[in-house]
Amino acid sequence: MTGRARARSRGRARGQEPSQAAAPGMAPKPAAEVGLPQPSGEEELLGRGRQKGPPGAVRPEGMQLQISAGFQQMKIGERGGRRSDFHDTGIHTRQAMEHVKESKTGVSGSSIELRANYFRIISRPQWVLYQYHVDYNPQMESRRLRSALLFKHDEVLGTTRTFDGSILFLPHRLPNTVTELFSETRSGENVRVTITLTNELPPTSPVCLQFYNIIFRRVLRILNMQQIGRHYYNPNDPLNIPHHRLMIWPGFTTSILQYESSIMLCTDVSHKVLRSETVLSFMSQLRQQCGDQRFPEACTKELVGLIVLTRYNNKTYRIDDIAWEKTPNNTFKKGDKDISFKEYYKSQYNLDICDNNQVLLVSELKRQGPAGGAPRGPALLVPEFCYLTGLTDKMRSDFNIMKDLSSHTRLTPEQREQRMDRFITNINRDPNAQAELTSWGLNFDNKLLSLKARVLPTERISQGAKIYEYSPWVAEWSREMRGAPLISTRPLENWLMLYTRRNLDSAQALLQALNKVSPPLGIRVQRACMIEIEDRQESLMRALQHNVSPQTQMVVCILPNNRKDKYDAVKKFLCVDCPTPSQCVVARTLSKPQALMTIATKIALQMNCKMGGELWSVEIPLKQLMIVGIDCYHDIVAGKRSIAGLVASLNQGMTRWFSKCVLQSRGQEIVDGLKISLQAALKAWYKHNNCLPSRIIVYRDGVGDGQLQSVVNYEVPQIMGCIKALGQDYNPKLTVVVVKKRVSARFFARIDGKPSNPPPGTVIDNDVTRPEWYDFYIVSQAVRVGSVSPTHYNVIYDSSGLKPDYMQRLTYKMCHMYYNWSGIVRVPAPCQYAHKLAFLVGQSIHREPNTNLDDFLYYL
């Protein structure tokens, strides 16, 4: 998946509908919200620190704000509702599962000592904290300016305080519930600062975790690190790659949370790739290359979907559109007066705009407007102040660029440990950082957390009559499976091979190689119908329309290049209009004679899977078990729709799969069409087994940060309702597991005296898991370069009573069953299949595939 496609799929489709243009980085104050405090715009904080009142309600003058006694018991995500809770705190799912209330740890496997990227909090405040909300009139968008205006009043606040731009924490209570102060900006503008008491926090309050995170971010700023997005980076120690015009800022992800036995800081190394050019300079070069006439189209194509960094506030924005009719001389409403963009940047950030004729960029803000108010409008950005981030598709396809980047960013376990040790040492040695922590009574351990984990036994692979084991450290069996017949094969008798005249030699070489590698695998291959086409899309489509019939088993296309439009056209026709399994091969892949036999073997295996063949299996002890994988993909081409892929097993060996795709409304992550898809999967199971499954395990991938509550409240009831709809007497045991790949946790084993990656099959179910969840980590795959990433599994519903040990082992077994790789993958096979299905539909087809293909892995 390309960088741009990945960026678009992750978030652009989740944006809100534009309502009205906003100032750069901020939205205008909606009419419904006049008189209410504005949110700060700091996305990563976990709660507003105010209680929700009726939208637009105005308090009578002189009325004292009553602090709710129940506020401390509220879930952080319930207050204010405008900031994302990225850590899904306050969601207690474990208490509803009787069989894991006492213990959620497994027992099988051999013990192993690990170190993890966590630091314990040794001491923390044991006094009441006072939380205040700070409001400005007129509004101040710059956080630095807000802080400066507030901190002019040391005599009122004292020197021990923490402020994030909106929420103020103090160790003492101010004399009045509402305190009004007045400050003056450098330009002479008078600003009223209103400080309102919102909460009293005892040391046991869960909101204290939010406070600890704010304190730690302040420490990072003391170390001269700058916030970009959610994380902090060091601009004073950049890694320059001048010949590629790239710069890497090293940094860290940090979060402080309550884990099993203690509150700990989790930190991991992060890197921000910046390009040393502004959007304005990029646009100028593009205009020179393509001329004035083609410039608007080319510019839109290149820029829309990219992420840019505005260094005046170190925030990232996604470019959603270009406002061709607007320039910095245009005005917008700020408070009750009009101000130009040029004046705005001068007054807010002391920046001068040089090019007054440049067009503005549009970024639709993802977060909703204030409670009771209109959705936020789009932000308008000045290209001169926007720096490009990340990599273009062209850069990602450049081997040299990626090699140079990976040498800086793919750290070995030893390098990663050293970087984190140095990080915590710098904090402990910096007198200002220590003064800040000490003033609040916070102290961190200076050693990485040590913990015990288990390594699950190596699985035995069954391939036809042959049963073999693989090397546990390599975690793949491509060598062991050679020369052994597969579990079941489909003869290749009626098939087509399309090629251009220039690629005739490649087509014939592939055909000969397939004839050599297929018989040992048990695949009978007849000669293909060879069709020569011109190197034009129309010729390719005409050949498909004239030659593909209902009897055609497989279509192989030798494509002269990796142009997406040709690939998309082939897949759309053969997945929707004329349902036939297909295999596209880029001619360059077949150009190395020494690798041809290996490539032909992989192609033969893939083609066999797509026609309904089965390759290998592992032992699954549970009978009448159906395993389901669900994943989502956001399709920005077809009106920002979401595609949900659902893949379900059809047999005991987990070698046959049913696939269904649902196209949802714009930007919707939660699977609305889940009922229809799951019912179709259950009917397919009944058709294959003459009964319904007695156990169903659903692995739900693609759940973003902060979306767990929606899955618990919305998707699980849908699944249960779907099961009940099949009959009152049908009551299978149901388990729902949320699978998360993007985690900050890293684990290191000591092998030969130095930090190394843990072996595949390592399970971590203590110390770093969450006490309110039934969760565990598995390191399933092996990596050759860098540090291995574990996968987090969170069982959010379980009526099966299955022991944690069995749940962990079954999950690991399913990581062996992905037929596109003869090895262990990072997630259970149905999740990976669901991802491939949703990605194919979202990237290439943009329509629901033909139901005739539901029983085939045609998307591999």
- Would you state the structure tokens that stand for residue 394, as one six-digit string? 């062209």
Place of tokens 């923490």: 162
Q: Give CA–CA dist 420/417, Å, rounded.
A: 5
CB 758 within 8 Å of CB 115: no
Q: Residue 497: name the closest of 481, 509, 480 by CA.
A: 509
Backbone angles phi, psi at 315, to 5 degrees: -115, 150
Contacts of 582 (CB under 8 A, 6+ apart): 554, 555, 556, 557, 570, 571, 574, 575, 610, 858
Give the SS3 label for residue 167.
strand
For residues 252 and 268, give the distance between their C-alpha atoms in angstroms, rounded to a whole number: 5
Q: Give whole-number Cα distances, 788 to 320, 459, 745, 808, in Å.
A: 34, 20, 10, 19
Strand boundaries in 443-581, DSSP class E: 443-444, 449-455, 461-463, 466-468, 495-500, 529-533, 554-559
Amino acid identity, residue 557? C
The whole-angstrom separation of Cα 339 and Cα 432 is 40
Q: Which helix (H) or strand (E) holds 258?
A: strand 246-258
Is residue 667 a contact partner of residue 642, using CB atoms and an 8 Å limit? yes
Closest to 41 in 3D by CA, of 524, 367, 471, 507: 367
Cβ atoms within 10 Å, residue 12: 21
Instruction: Give the C-alpha separation, 15 to 27, whole Å.
Output: 14
The answer for residues whose C-beta is within 8 angstroms of residue 765's C-beta and 6 or more apart is: 104, 105, 106, 775, 776, 777, 804, 808
Which among 37, 49, 45 is positioned nearest to 131, based on CA atoms?
Answer: 49
Which of 350, 338, 281 has the alpha carbon at shortest distance from 21?
338
**671-682 as b/e: b if 16+ CB within 10 A:** bebbbebbebbb
The one catalytic residue among 364, 701, 775, 798? 701
Are 621 and 803 in contact by the 8 Å Cβ rule? The answer is no
Q: Give the C-alpha separation, 271 to 233, whole Å.
A: 8
Q: Residue 404, class by beta-carbon neighbours within 10 Å (0-12 exposed, 13-18 middle, 19+ buried)? A: middle
Strand partners, 500: 533
Residue 669 appears among annotated catalytic residues: yes
CB 143 within 8 A of CB 42: yes
* Choice among 33, 364, 436, 631 that is catalytic: 631
Q: Which of 398, 535, 669, 848 does the annotation list as catalytic?
A: 669
Catalytic residue among 87, 231, 634, 835: 835
Please give the full DSSP string across 612-632, using - where no structure is assigned.
T-B--B----SSSEEEEEEEE
Cis peptide leading into residue 138 (ω within 30°) = yes
Longest CA–CA span in the chain (Å) reads: 90
Handedness of CA 210, 211, 216, 217 (dihedral sign): positive
Please calculate the CA angle 157-139-176 and round it to the nearest 5 degrees: 30
Active site residue 430: no
Whether 631 sits among the annotated catalytic residues: the reply is yes
Q: Which three-class secondary structure state does DSSP give residue 807?
A: helix
Catalytic residues: 631, 669, 701, 835
